[in-house]
Amino acid sequence: MEKKYLTRDKIIGKQVIDSKAMIMGTVKDLSFDLVAKDFSLIIKAKADKEITVDSKNVKVVGDVILLTVAVETFEKPVVPATPKASPSVSPPVKPSPPRTPGLCSGCGFQNESNSKFCIKCGSKI
């Protein structure tokens, strides 16, 4: 009896199903680690998203590829593309000096407290 070997050509394009019988996608390519003598499946999932599955998570390779884990295991949290900018910090507002009744802001002359115009320069107080 002749042994049958699975080649890369026979694995690419196979449908991948997780442990909860959910279709993950199809095998797009294989990745090999020659030092560890291991491989990973690169799966094309929904919305052209790629998921890498280690060989230890592959249960059976037949007409389809069955995994020992669920899709949620491979879902990664969404990370914002740009970090949130810190709120702009404006310098503290300097308190205005205490207002002296009758003091002209134009020339600094001290008028009577109930004056509406400066006697010296005519500016509105």
Interval 35-92: pLDDT, tens: 888 989 999 988 788 889 999 999 999 999 999 988 776 655 556 666 666 666 777 7
What is the C-alpha to C-alpha distance for residues 17 and 105, in angstroms, rounded to an integer?
Answer: 81
pLDDT on residue 42: 92
At 6-18, the pLDDT tens digits run 788 899 999 999 9
What is the C-alpha to C-alpha distance for residues 68 and 55, in angstroms, rounded to an integer?
Answer: 10
What is the C-alpha to C-alpha distance for residues 55 and 37, in angstroms, rounded to an integer?
Answer: 11
Q: Cα(first)–Cα(last) distance of the chain, in Å?
A: 110
Sheet holding 65-67, edge to edge: 50-54, 38-44, 23-33, 15-17, 65-67, 58-61
pLDDT on residue 65: 93
